[in-house]
Amino acid sequence: MKTRAAVAWKAGEPLTIETVDLEGPRAGEVLVEIKASGVCHTDELTLSGDDPEGLFPSILGHEGAGVVLEVGAGVTTVAPGDHVIPLYTPECRQCKACLSRRTNLCTAIRPTQGQGLMPDGTSRFSIGGDKIHHYMGCSTFANHTVLPEIALAKVRKDAPFDKICYIGCGVTTGVGAAIWTAKVWPGANVAVFGLGGIGLNVIQGARMAGADKIIGVDLNPAKAEMARRFGMTDFINPESVGRDKVVQAILDLTGGGADFSFECIGNVATMRQALECCHRGWGESVIVGVAGAGQEISTRPFQLVTGRVWRGTAFGGARGRSDVPKIVDWYMGGKIEIDPLITHILTLDEINKGFDLMRSGQSIRSVVVY
């Protein structure tokens, strides 16, 4: 079939809207009509050329929602007409990782996904017979895409596509980092570095978990109002207190340090601050932001020897097919907010504007509606 897609031909160049060929689903695969897709910082990381796994040409996008049109042989968990959210972190429920219950990082299709291919080692996208790579196993910057069955979460049909698409990455990553990765406890002190979309979702996840003090750290004081709406109790502007005084400011506010901190920027300097502001003996810092290729983190070993924990998270620790439908229910039940985070609605033809808005800091999340 033919479908419209935004194709990334080379790193650093704008996307171009093309009519591409899309082969139908093979065994274990599903054809999905994408109804809405968020424009995420991870898409920008790849487009910029800083992603070491970035492949071109490709169809980017991994934060979508849509409707199942057709299923391949052997597919049993979704059917035509079902509403679904693509999962860049699948859940096969059979690999060692899934069966361990210790991680959400399913390994069933990781090798081919990293090569921009379907599990059988081929691509479903092409132009003029030339292969176009899939992206993060999703490629939601296309009106139609094909995904493995294990990379789709079936969700309720009354949830709006232009809001729940954000659950495909940003909402789940932030809320899940607080709830599933860190397991924030009631009454905890929390520090969140970076008050963009991910940071705001960490804040509302910490609020849901019952955190007492939630400290937001950002260079832009204009972000404080929205962060307070989502549950932030205290705000620190590094320019006001001094960039080298941020850790001490958090220690003072919390009476010894944060029980949990979250770095949502992808800056290795703030990753160190996020660790070192944690409480001696038990404080835990979670790295959520993705740093550029080749960058490294550092701290004095003393920080870890004295009981602090440094860890990372992917997709908020959520198990896609099991947990994403719950988050949709939380949204529909009013337990979390998404609507204020969707600041711009665009058409596919305007997708490069979404990247411009994100780079300039004018948007929290732009959503392309097909």
Given 169, 264, 277, 278, the catalytic residue: 169
Instruction: Say whether the peptide bond before residue 57 is cis (omega within 30 degrees of 0).
Output: yes
Given 63, 91, 149, 263, the catalytic residue: 63
Supply 197's token pair: 């979309």
- The reply to whether 134 belongs to the active site is no
- The reply to whether 42 belongs to the active site is yes
- The reply to whether 40 belongs to the active site is yes
Residues 258, 82: Cα–Cα separation, whole Å: 43
- The reply to whether 41 belongs to the active site is yes
Given 29, 91, 106, 263, the catalytic residue: 106
- The reply to whether 106 belongs to the active site is yes
Given 29, 40, 83, 284, the catalytic residue: 40
Are 29 and 72 in contact, with CB atoms under 8 Å apart?
yes
Residues facing residue 144 across a β-bridge: 33
- The reply to whether 101 belongs to the active site is no
Are 32 and 144 in contact, with CB atoms under 8 Å apart?
yes
- The reply to whether 321 belongs to the active site is no
Given 18, 95, 233, 344, the catalytic residue: 95
Given 26, 70, 92, 344, the catalytic residue: 92
Given 18, 23, 44, 110, the catalytic residue: 110
- CB burial class (10 A; 0-12, 13-18, 19+) of residue 131? middle
Residues facing residue 278 across a β-bridge: 258
Are 55 and 113 in contact, with CB atoms under 8 Å apart?
no
Residues facing residue 354 across a β-bridge: none
Residues 175, 208: Cα–Cα separation, whole Å: 9
The residue ranges of DSSP E strands in 167-288, in sequence order, are 189-193, 213-217, 234-236, 260-263, 284-287
Given 29, 41, 165, 254, the catalytic residue: 41
Place of tokens 């665009």: 346
Residues 149, 71: Cα–Cα separation, whole Å: 8
Residues 42, 370: Cα–Cα separation, whole Å: 21
- The reply to whether 98 belongs to the active site is yes
Given 3, 29, 46, 62, the catalytic residue: 62
User: C-alpha dihedral over 292, 259, 218, 288, to 10 degrees?
Assistant: 30
- The reply to whether 279 belongs to the active site is no
Residues 285, 227: Cα–Cα separation, whole Å: 20
Given 83, 134, 272, 365, the catalytic residue: 365
- The reply to whether 83 belongs to the active site is no
Given 3, 98, 140, 321, the catalytic residue: 98
Given 3, 42, 140, 145, the catalytic residue: 42
Are 293 and 52 in contact, with CB atoms under 8 Å apart?
yes
- The reply to whether 110 belongs to the active site is yes
- The reply to whether 165 belongs to the active site is no
DSSP conformation class of 10: S
Q: How far is CA 270 from CA 216, 294, 366, in A?
A: 13, 16, 26
Which residues are annotated as catalytic?
40-42, 62-63, 92, 95, 98, 106, 110, 169, 365
